[in-house]
Structure 1
């Protein structure tokens, strides 16, 4: 893992004050992708005014992709004579200062693309291979104020299946047998992702929630993230659902590709065979066992003891697009972000 790490930060009571004033607590909700992030972000926007009255601020993808991500994770640069990373850090800190002066006590930042993209995961056949470097940059930009990280995990065979369907719906190629086999044999699991988070943000508390036990409950996720009561869910929604096989076949045909690249059927696309699915599920079971055993002190597995085991489907609700389609669109659109 490469990148710039904070060298030293105040700890304990010292880190709760800035020049005699209470320091703003920053909570990062990092996803992962395909674990209800868009539904959670819409829930936060539904309740942003009520939360603001409690001193709780929210930065979602509409904001982070304008003020946090640009420049902080630069690709090939054009010689502009400017340090894009330093400019990004200054932009983030300026916005943090404005939020603090406005009375924000807790700031929740939610954007799954902070830790990487679906395309990058699939390209490398690995779970967020650059997360350590990316979060080290985030920690520096947020000036060491990140106090808590919230991560939602999903069983690997369903995570990768949903990711593969998502990128095909966005115009990318169908994952072939070689790519699927490479994913199956990847030695990188959620445990490695969590260890990278801990290395990059060593002072932050890491809370981990299995998607299977938290699906359709954004209020419970917010309560976990903030450590306090959260507004009740007003509208049951299932946003950014993976496109099913008919939708994916249609998307391929519209792009001039052969729909027969995908199997027949009407339900969810499950590209892995029985052997591959079993192997991926076994990795997830090992991850959960490690978390339940204490995760070597790096993270805490959070569970709702009143929650019954989730079924194979999420709760019924609107199935709409992501951040750019908050209003004015009827249900039934394919997902395009989150």
Structure 2
């Protein structure tokens, strides 16, 4: 049985992907694909893997978590599961810590090293969704503000723009923590609205299209965001409709440039650490791509002479 850890990230349509897998669980089970989502992983299954406050019982919580996981994995093997997708974006961290520390998943490597030990080397693949940083931070801020956090100050926004960590650092940390695991990077811009394409990329099997257009936890538009906030806070938001854009044009451009550098690194092989999953429906140009818009050509010359005559 191949275990596939799907670690998100947050605000990359992860919840929608989990809902797609959940609603198609019966169909997928017939194809040998199993699914563990947050409804299962956050009900004690992962308890003890990460350090945290716990009652003093004299028991090693990490060992108990490892044993609990192995029992559940054995149940899945006995049920004939060939590909087990374990999806929980909190495995690499959470949005609250990202915003508090002003960077992307600073503890991702340490956290994933603990999961590697808990699964006892049984993980074959790991899937990470990434997103353009201007879109990621905007969505994360909208998510946080809608849940009662303060609006970001200019200094806080500037701190996010100048953050030294990018997706490349997150990928490097995860690869170091889980050597031998195949790391697949799936851009939100390609796979965010296509969970069936994402599933096919991870399992190399045909994926059902039912429930593939369910959208959950989308960022609120300005009107809905104002309606969800106290009046004194809502008045601080800009007027108009559409999405909230907390970053100015220069800041958004700087964030997009960092993401472009990460994508170029991934497209160039990512130093052998990860594989960039490309659009499965995008066709290559072939050995002899068409030469378009490189020269003016005769029709343009003829039209130019006709326009200038008389």
Q: Same fold (TM over 0.5)?
A: yes
Q: Does 1:46 align with 2:20?
A: no
> What is the DSSP-based 3-state SS (H/G/I as helix, E as strand, rest coil) of the residue aligned with 2:51?
coil
Which of 74, 94, 115 is 1:117 aligned to? 94
Alignment partner, residue 71 of structure 1 = 48
Residues 86 and 174 of structure 1: CA distance in aligned 2, closer, same or farther (over 3 Å): farther
1:146 to 123, 146, 151: 123
Instruction: State the partner residue of 1:282.
Output: 257
Other-structure match for 1:198: 175
Of 197, 205, 213, the residue aligned with 1:236 is: 213
Q: Output the CA distance in 2 between the equivalents of 1:167 and 1:87.
A: 34
| Deviations 1:127-183 (CA, angstroms, capped at 9, x unpaired) | 111111111111111111111111111100010000110111222222221211111
* TM-score scaled by length of structure 1: 0.80
Q: Aligned match of 2:62 in 82, 85, 92? A: 85
TM-score when normalising by structure 2? 0.87
Distance 1:273 1:195 in 2: 30
Residue 229 (structure 2) aligned to one of 233, 249, 252: 252
Aligned to 2:243: 268
Q: Which moved more, 1:85-94 or 1:154-163?
A: 85-94
CA deviation after TM superposition for structure 1 residue 202, in Å: 0.8
3-state DSSP class of the match of 2:219?
coil
Aligned length: 283
Secondary structure, aligned partner of 1:75: coil
Give the SS at the match of 1:132: helix
Q: How does 1:16-31 map to 2 (within 5 A)?
A: 24-31=1-8
Gaps of 5+ in 2: 284-310
Aligned to 1:293: 268
Q: Is the 8 A contact 1:213 1:307 kept in 2?
A: no
Contact 1:150 1:208 in 2 (8 A): yes
Deviation readout 1:279-328 (Å, 9 max, x if unpaired): 110000000000000000111111125259xxxxxxxxxxxxxxxxxxxx
Paired with 1:220 and 1:235, the residues of 2 have a C-alpha distance of: 9
| Contact in 1 for aligned 2:2/2:83 (Cα 8 Å) | yes
- Say whether the 8 Å CA contact 1:155–1:284 is kept in structure 2: yes
Q: Which has the larger radius of gyration?
A: 2
User: Is the Cα–Cα contact under 8 Å of residues 56 and 108 in structure 1 kept in the other structure?
Assistant: yes
Aligned to 1:71, the other structure's residue is in SS state coil
User: Deviation of residue 73 (structure 1)?
Assistant: 1.7
User: Equivalent of 1:186, from 163, 169, 178?
Assistant: 163
How far did residue 69 of structure 1 move?
3.2
State the secondary structure of the residue aligned to 1:158.
helix
Distance in structure 2 (CA, Å) of the matches to 1:105 and 1:135: 23
- In structure 1, which of residues 186, 189, 208 is the aligned counterpart of residue 185 of structure 2? 208
Distance 1:241 1:26 in 2: 28
Please list every run of 5 or more consecutive structure 1 residues that lacks an aligned counterpart in the other structure: 1-23, 309-338
User: Paired residue for 1:158, among 129, 135, 145?
Assistant: 135
